[in-house]
Each structure stands twice: as structure tokens, then as C-alpha cells.
Chain A
Amino acid sequence: MARPSNHFQSTVGSKIVMALSGLGLVIYVIFHMLGNLQVFEGSHALNGYAAFLREMPILLWTARAGLLSIVVLHIMLAIQLTLRNRRARPVAYVVRQYRQASFSSRTMAASGLVLLLFIIFHLLHLTAGVIDSSSADRLDAEGHRDVYGKIIHAFQNPFIVALYLAGQLGLGLHLNHAVTSSLQTLGLEHAAFNRLFKAAGPTVALLVVLGNAAIILAIFLGIVRG
């Protein structure tokens, strides 16, 4: 009797798990961005959306636990493979020229690390409210928690804005290679669709970064106000 777990312990198996978990996180990131874009519709919409999420605590915490475990799995495999890859070339080249390996593909570990640090900061900052507790638990006019007010307040600070934009840069670089790479790892390849698959990474990266940066900059530049 074959054990499927063995199947995923090889490098290719690990890569497949990384691709699947990564794509899961990409879907989350897209929804996260779409949800937050409601900031442009005013405090009512955004705070209502936040309240809606809070109305189902079991679902929320299940989703959070799921996300967390996916992130942990993704990171653990990344560390495992990266260490393996470092070992695979004990002596580096003195002169090295790349022909077609993109910058983002060569810096996945670095961009992943930037992203991880950013996410931790982001969670501490806006979810747990540890970094800036001044606006943590205020309520809006309708009695919902004032998420809208919280982010408007947060992105007045140029330091925080710069940090978030840097996080977006890490995210963009990571996604640029990640999405296309995941499709390749999952064996998705067909003459008719290859251009689509190739474009998927940069497109997703661009849309997510633009969407998120729009929120940050719109608030900072005063286009969206409290």
C-alpha cells in the first residue's frame, strides 16, 4: 500500500505543497485587498464588512487557524528547500551572469522574509493593536468597531506608510514569480495557455500591489478622509 505522505516528501512533492499553499495564500491576499478597497465607499461599508466577519466567530477563527497553518507549512517547506538548495552548491561561482532568471525569481527567499516580517508587523499594528493602541477599540456611530477610523488614523503617519509600501514591494516581488511558478510546479502547461500562465504572476502581483497601495496612498494624500 503506497503512502501518499511519502509522495510529498521529495523535493518535487514539497514544491507541489508549496505551490498549493502559496496559491491558497494568493487567493486570501486577493480577497483581503478586495475587502479593504471598501474603504473608498466610506466608513459605513468598511465597518459593516468588518462587523459581518466578526458575526461568525467560529468561521473567523477557523479561517485564521487555517491561514496560519498554511503560512507555517509554506514557510517550513521554504526553509527546508532553501537550506537544501544552499547545500547543493557548497562553493559559489566567482563570476555569475544570469540570462533569463528574473530578479524576483532569484530573491524569493529574501522577498518572502520581507513579507513575513511585514505581516507580523501588520498583525501587531492593525489586528492586535499593539504598535499603536490609541485608536484600538473605538466604536463608530452605528456601534460597530471603527476599523475605518483606525486605518485612516494609521496612514497619516509617513513612517507607517513607508513601511507598508515597502511591504507591498516585497509582496509584489514575491507574487510576480510565485503565481507563474506555482502553475508550472503543478504541471499546468499547454501550448495554448502558456502565455496566459506566464502573464499570471506579474498580473496578479500588479493588481494586488496597486489595490493595496491605492488604499494607503489615498488615505495619506487625504483623498479618503475620516
Chain B
Amino acid sequence: MKFSLNIWRQKGPDEKGSFMTYEARDVSAGMSFLEMLDGVNQGLIAKGEEPVAFEQDCREGICGSCSLVINGIPHGPDRGITTCQLYMRRFPDGAAITIEPWRARAFPIIKDLVVDRRALDRVMQAGGYISVNTGGAVDGNVLLISKDQAETAMDAASCIGCGACVAACKNASAMLFVAAKVSHLALLPQGKPERTRRVKAMLGVMDREGFGSCGNQNECEAVCPKGISVRFIAALNREYLRAGVVELGLPAEPESPHAESA
């Protein structure tokens, strides 16, 4: 098989980028999309040219590294997978394929198709955890958690942090990402004590990082490789409203242990 690739090339964060066209030859149907790109790069390197930079690691759809907008859809034309799980048999021979990086102000381009997604880490650092010290935890069966609740928490927790939701959103909003983490922790008894602070802090950082607002268009859900539902966004909104109510009703809430950093 043979493909014509239209790839975004950009030397560095502050450089001007542009599209370049490359031919991918001798591609077999059983090759993954990234292996096809590997092939193109091997050709470039052998010629002494700089290969196309793109992010990848586990190549089995779980690490969340790979991040390409393929013909206008993050992670490409198939649903429920990451780019690394996309195979070339999905494309007709001779097709032209346009490859762009995740585009968002919060994800500045480092080079070519590689973007800086540390904004998501900073959102997590604001409160995407349960502050429990190592050691001294009570027995795992002390707090019973119903099967349904554990399964729903797991649905939310399966987020791989790839950022496709941001890339797909018309507003470059990170709501599905934040919703997944906030919902996961709010659903479990262990996460409840900090839920008020958590939702406010995480959304605060989300805003500061320059993500857009949620327009409830649900495009994020459609490209999410883990199929995380927008129902969690409603749950996040609810958590946020709840936090507002708690703060109104309990002005004398004890000082949060994180007050100095929140």
C-alpha cells in the first residue's frame, strides 16, 4: 500500500510551522499507523534528515503518550482506541492522510507533532489525590464499597490522560479529564473527606492553564479511547455546585490542611 501524508512540521515551540508532504511506500495492511510513520522516519534518517517527532511509548493503548489528529479526528477514524492501536488496513490504498498535533493553548507544541501536556499534571497536582500517608492504612475490607459503585469509579478511573478530549473539543476544554478524576474519587468513601476542596482546586487550575469552557457538545466522549462518558461531566458540575453549597452553609469549616498552597 501507498499513502500520501500531509504532516505538520514545526522545529520548536516558537518557530513557525507548516505542512509537509511525505510518501509512505511499501506499507502493509497489518502495520500499525505508528509503524507506518516509523517507516517514513527511517527513510528520513537514512537521508540525514530530521525525522518527524511524534510521541509514543507503550503501543498498546494504555500509557496515553500517542497523540495525533488524523484527518481531523484525535486518535483517528476508529472509536475507542488510541493512535497506536490504529492499523493501516483501515485506510484505502493511495489515500491522502493529514496529521496534525493536539491543538490547544494549554498544550504548546514542543516539536512537530509533540505537545507539552504538563497542564494536565498540574491540574492533578491541585487535588487529584487522596492525601493519605504511606503505612498505617486500615484493612482494605473495613470500608465496604458496593460492586456498582466500584465499577462506576473504575469507569471514570480508566482515563489515560492522553488529552484527546481537549484536542477534540471545539473549546479545547479539559472538562472530561477533570470530570473523570473528580468523579472517581468522589464516588469512593476514601475520597469523600476532601471532595469540596478537590473540585474547586482542580477546576481553578484548569481555568488558569487556559483550557476553554465546556459546551456540552460531547465530542470528547466520542474520541475518548476509554469511552469515558460525559455523564461524569454532569457529576463534576454537581460536585462543584455541592462545593458552593457547602461553603455557603458552613462558613466556619475548619481550615483546610492545604490552605497555604490552595
Contact = CB atoms under 8 A, between A and B. Distances in A.
Nearest to B246: A2
A157 interface: no
A81 B98 contact: no
Contact of B219 (A2, A16, A84, A101): A101
Contact of A98 (B172, B219, B248): B219
Interface string A169-207: 000000001001100111111000010000000000000
A184 B73 contact: no
A57 interface: no
Contact of A187 (B72, B173, B235, B247): B235
Interface residues of A, number: 44
Contacts of A101: 170, 217-219, 222
Contact of A186 (B172, B173, B221, B241): B241
Given A100-B221, A106-B217, A92 B247 contact: no
Interface in A18-64: none
Contacts of B210: 87-88
B113 interface: no
A144 B236 CA distance: 52
B159 interface: no
A221 interface: no
Given A94-B98, A95-B100, A189 B235 contact: yes
Interface string B188-223: 000000000000100110110011111111110111
A7 B244 CA distance: 6
Contacts of B239: 187
A207 B217 CA distance: 22
Interface in A63-99: 81, 84-85, 87-99
B230 interface: yes
Contacts of B221: 100
A13 interface: yes
Contacts of B206: 11
Contacts, number: 143
Contact of B216 (A14, A81, A90, A177): A177
B197 to A, nearest CB: 11
B103 A89 contact: yes
A150 interface: no
Given A15-B213, A15-B214, A84-B212, A2 B251 contact: yes
A153 B98 CA distance: 56
B106 interface: yes
Nearest to B222: A99
Interface residues of B, number: 53
A7 B243 CA distance: 9
Interface string B223-260: 10000001101111111110110011001010000000
Contacts of A7: 200, 240, 243-244, 247
A154 interface: no
B230 A14 contact: no
B234 A184 contact: yes
A12 B240 contact: yes
Interface string B147-174: 0000000000000000000001011110
B100 A88 contact: no
A85 B241 contact: no
A85 B171 contact: yes
Contact of B203 (A10, A94, A102, A181): A10
B69 interface: yes
A209 interface: no
A108 B213 CA distance: 13
Contacts of A185: 214, 216, 237
A1 interface: yes
B207 A11 contact: yes
Interface in B74-89: 79
B72 A96 contact: yes
Q: Which 5 A-B pairs have the closest CB atoms?
A: A187-B238, A189-B234, A88-B212, A2-B247, A101-B217
Interface of B: 19, 69, 71-73, 79, 98, 100, 103-106, 168, 170-173, 175, 200, 203-204, 206-207, 210-219, 221-223, 230-231, 233-241, 243-244, 247-248, 251, 253
Interface of A: 1-2, 4, 7-8, 10-16, 81, 84-85, 87-102, 105-106, 108, 177, 180-181, 184-189, 194
Given A13-B244, A89-B103, 4 more contacts: A11-B206, A81-B213, A99-B73, A184-B216
